[in-house]
Amino acid sequence: MKSRWDQCELDRVTADYAKAGVSADLAIRTYTTRILGQEPLLVLHGGGNTSVKTTMTDALGDEYEVLCVKGSGWDMGSIEPAGLPAVQLQPLAALARKEALSDEDLVAAQRRMLLDPYAPNPSIEAVLHAIIPHKHVDHTHANAIISLTNQPDGEAIIRELFPDTTIVPYVMPGFVLAQEVRRILDETPDAKHLILINHGIFTFNDDPRQSYDDMIAMCDAAEQRLARGNPRPFKGASLPGGAALAEIAPIVRGALARETEIEGRPDRWVLDFRTSGQIRHFVDGENVGDYAMRGNAAPDHSIRIKRFGMVTSPAGCDDFAENLKAAVAAFADEYIAYYQRQNARAGGGFKQLDPVPRIVYVPGLGLFGVGKTAKEASICADIAEATVDVITKAEGIGRFVTLSEDDLFDIEYWSLEQAKLAKAVEKPLNRQVAIVTGGASGLGRETAAMLRKEGAEVALFDIDSDAVARVAEEIGAMPVVCDVTDPSAVDAAVAKVVEAFGGVDILVSNAGAAFQGRMLEVDDAYFQKAFALNYWSHHYMARACVTVMRAQGTGGALVFNVTKQVLNPGPDFGPYGTSKSALMALVRQYAIEHGADGITANAVNADRIRTGLLTDAFVAERARARGVSSDEYMRGNLIRREVTGTDVAEAFLHLAKARKTSGAILTVDGGNVAAMVR
C-alpha cells in the first residue's frame, strides 16, 4: 500500500483553512482524514473514523480541551472541518468507566458535550478515541487486516506478523467496545496500536504523520503477508456460454421486485453491476455457494448488505429466469427464519427489514449491488467488491470465517441504525429508472429535472453531446448521446441505461421538431425526415424500452409528446401535423398491445410553450400577424394564462406516475376549444 501523504498539499490546505479561521490541528486532521478515506482498501462508506485532541473556545469564549472526531454522515474522503465536531474531552473519556450505558444514552451524552449544539452526532466510537492517550487517532477497516483476522487462527497470524501490537477481541461497537479497550489500555498503557479481531485497526500518535505512516506500513505488511498466499484459490466451475449484461440485468431486477400490500405496487430496485478478473474468479468458482454466503468481511457491512449476498445459477443457462425466482424466494424465506429466531433471542421488539438481497452474485457474469437508489446500489456494490477481495485473499492463506449469526444480527438490527431507518423517507419515484429523449433542452430538460427531483434515476438522450453532458451534470442525470432516428443507436443507448441501472420503468419520448410546409410543396425527403423524428424515433424508443419492461415483468409507463396539430391541424404544418397524428395512433396501439403487461401509454398535448421550437422571435412574428402583443398571444386561451414548460413537465410527471390511466391525451394549453378531445 502506497502513502498518499503530500507535504505541499498539506501546507496548502492548512494555509487555506487558516484564512477561514480553522486551527492548524483541525486543518491537519481534515487533510489526514481525507487521504485515509480516499483509499478504498482502507475505508468504505462510513467504515472508519479519525480524531484529534486539541483546545477550542465555545460561543461564550470559554476554552475547553476537546476531541474533534468524525461526525455521523460525513464521508472521510471528502470531509470538511465541520465534519469533525468538537466534544469536551474529559467528560467524554470519563464515560468509559461507567458500568453500563445504552447506545441511545451514549449518543445523548455525547451531544450534551458538543461545543456546537448544531454539529452532527460524533462517531459512536468517540469514547474509544477519547481514552487513547495520543493526540491523533486513526481507525480503518482495512481489507488486508480483516483478511488476516477473519481466519480460524487469525489472532495467531496477527501476533506473528505484528508482535508489538495490542489485540482486541471482537465486541459490539459502541460503549461495550470502549469499555473493553479501556480495560486493555489499563493493563497495557504503552500500547502502540490496536488490531480489533473481525473489525479493523487503530493507529495513534502525537505526530499525525507518524500515526498515518503506521497505518500504511501495517496495512502494507498485511498485504505482503497475503501476497504469499494463492491469488486464485477457487476451483472454477464448468459454466455454459455467457449472456449479455443488458439481457440479464432486467431479469435480475424483475426477480427482486416483490408485490407490496399497497395495490400490488411492484417494489422495484436499482442495480449497479461490477465485474473484474478477481470478481469473475470469485463468482465462477465451483463452491461459490459456500464461501460467498459465510458472512461479511466487516461487521458494519451487515447494515448495508445484510449477512451475505445471493448466488444465482450461471448467466448462460436456459432456465436462468426460473432458477432466479426460486433463489430470491429461498433467500427471502431464509432471511425471515433468521429474523424470527434472532428476534426471539434478542428479546423481541425488532421490526423485520425487507428480505431482499443487496448483493447478487451471477456466475459467468459478475455481481450486482442492489439499492433503492443508484447511490445506495453503488455503495452495496463497493462493499461487495471489498467482500470479494477480503474473502479471496483470506482463502488464499487459509479459510475465511466471520462473526456468528448472533453478532451479525446485533449489528444489522442495531437500535441506532433502526432509528435512522425509521426517519428515512422515500421520494415518490425512488427505485424507478426514467429515460427522457430530447433531454438537453426545453420540455425534455424541464421534465428530466422534475423526474430527478421526485427521486427517479434519469438518463438524458440527446444528439447534442455537449449540451446533454452539461444538463446531465446540472440535474444529476446520466448523459446518453443518441440519434433517436437510428434504430440500432436507440437499441445500444437503451442497453447502456440497462447496464447502468438494471432496467427501465419510464420513457418520456419527447424528441421532435415542427417541420413546416404545405403538402404539395414539401419534397419527399423532407417529409420522410419529419416522420423519422416525429414518428419512427418514438416507435424505436418505445420498442426498446417495452422489451426491457417485459423482461422485468413489473410494468412501466410510456409518455409521448404529441401536439395540438393532432386535434386541431393548421395550414403550413403538414409534415408536422401528419407525423404527430401517426404518433398519436402509435400511442394508442402500445396502450392496447401492452396493457396486459402492466405498461401504460399516454400522451401530452401542449400548445404555445416557449421552447427551442417556439422562440421569442417566432412568438413576436405570430403576435404581429394577429395584431396583438407577444404577451397577449401567449395568453390566448380560455383562462388567459401563459402555459410554461414547468406546466407541461408536471403533466409528463403525472402520466409517468398514473398506474390506472392508459391511451389518454392530457392537454396542457390553457383551454383551446378547437383542440379539445371529442
pLDDT at 277: 97
Are 41 and 169 found together in one domain? yes
3-state secondary structure of 174: coil
What's the CA dihedral at 308, 314, 315, 321 to 10 degrees?
A: -80
Cell of 465: 453531446
Are 175 and 251 found together in one domain? no
The answer to whether position 132 is within a domain reads yes
What's the CA dihedral at 378, 383, 384, 387 to 10 degrees?
A: 170
Domain boundary among 402, 423, 444: 423
Are 25 and 68 found together in one domain? yes
> Residue 130 — φ and ψ, nearest 5°?
-65, -35
Residues 6+ apart with CB under 8 A from 172: 407, 410, 411
Are 598 and 616 found together in one domain? no
Are 476 and 373 found together in one domain? no
pLDDT at 260: 58
3-state secondary structure of 6: coil
The answer to whether position 499 is within a domain reads yes
Judged against a pLDDT cut of 90, whether residue 672 lies above it is answered with no
Q: In CATH, what number is assigned to the domain containing residue 198?
A: 3.40.225.10
Query: Are 122 and 108 contacting, i.e. CB atoms less than 8 angstroms apart?
Result: no
Query: Are 574 and 517 contacting, i.e. CB atoms less than 8 angstroms apart?
Result: yes
pLDDT band at 612 (very low <50, low <70, confident <90, very high): low
Helix residue spans in 284-431 (DSSP H):
288-291, 301-305, 320-345, 374-397, 405-412, 415-423
- Structural domain for 522, as ranges: 433-607+644-668
Domain boundary among 169, 194, 227: 227
Task: Report the alpha-carbon distance of residue 70 to residue 72 in Å, rounded.
Answer: 7
**CB-based burial of residue 487 (10 Å sphere; 0-12 exposed, 13-18 middle, 19+ buried)?**
middle
**CB-based burial of residue 277 (10 Å sphere; 0-12 exposed, 13-18 middle, 19+ buried)?**
exposed
Scan for cell 450534551, then name that residue.
112
Judged against a pLDDT cut of 80, whether residue 678 lies above it is answered with no
Are 31 and 14 found together in one domain? yes
Least trusted range by pLDDT, from 408-422, 460-474, 490-504, 553-567: 408-422
Task: Report the alpha-carbon distance of residue 110 to residue 88 in Å, rounded.
Answer: 9
Q: What do you get for the CA distance between the two ends of the chain, in Å? A: 72
pLDDT band at 451 (very low <50, low <70, confident <90, very high): very high
Query: Are 47 and 298 contacting, i.e. CB atoms less than 8 angstroms apart?
Result: yes
Measuring CA to CA, which residue among 594, 667, 615, 669 is closest to residue 639? 669
Are 217 and 173 found together in one domain? yes
Are 489 and 457 found together in one domain? yes
Arithmetic mean of pLDDT, 657-662: 94
Arithmetic mean of pLDDT, 501-511: 97
Question: What kind and span of H or E run contains 433?
Answer: strand 433-437
Eight-class DSSP state of 84: S
Q: In CATH, what number is assigned to the domain containing residue 494?
A: 3.40.50.720
> Would you call 590 a catalytic residue per the annotation?
no
Are 82 and 137 found together in one domain? yes
| 325 vs 622, higher pLDDT | 325
The answer to whether position 31 is within a domain reads yes
Are 413 and 438 found together in one domain? no
pLDDT tens per residue across span 289-336: 999 999 998 888 999 999 999 999 999 898 999 999 999 999 999 999
**Domain total in the chain:** 4
Are 198 and 308 found together in one domain? no
pLDDT tens per residue across span 564-586: 778 878 777 788 888 889 999 99
Catalytic residue among 361, 535, 576, 633: 576
pLDDT at 262: 53
Are 38 and 182 found together in one domain? yes
pLDDT at 655: 97
Eight-class DSSP state of 82: G
Q: In CATH, what number is assigned to the domain containing residue 321?
A: 3.40.225
Please state the pTM of the whole predicted model.
Answer: 0.93
Return mean pLDDT, the chain: 93
pLDDT at 241: 80
Task: Report the alpha-carbon distance of residue 434 to residue 504 in Å, rounded.
Answer: 6
Cα torsion angle, 534, 540, 541, 543, sign: positive
The answer to whether position 240 is within a domain reads no
Which amino acid, residue 630?
Answer: S
Scan for cell 458535550, then name that residue.
113
Task: Report the alpha-carbon distance of residue 617 to residue 633 in Å, rounded.
Answer: 13
pLDDT at 494: 98
The answer to whether position 193 is within a domain reads yes
pLDDT tens per residue across span 52-95: 999 999 888 999 999 999 998 899 999 999 999 999 999 999 99
Measuring CA to CA, which residue among 280, 551, 502 is closest to residue 378? 502
The answer to whether position 480 is within a domain reads yes
CA distances from 175 to 125, 225, 297, 323 (A): 8, 33, 22, 44
Task: Report the alpha-carbon distance of residue 141 to residue 157 in Å, rounded.
Answer: 17
The answer to whether position 162 is within a domain reads yes
Task: Report the alpha-carbon distance of residue 396 to residue 384 in Å, rounded.
Answer: 18
Domain boundary among 378, 405, 423: 423
**CB-based burial of residue 326 (10 Å sphere; 0-12 exposed, 13-18 middle, 19+ buried)?**
middle
Arithmetic mean of pLDDT, 461-474: 97
The answer to whether position 236 is within a domain reads no
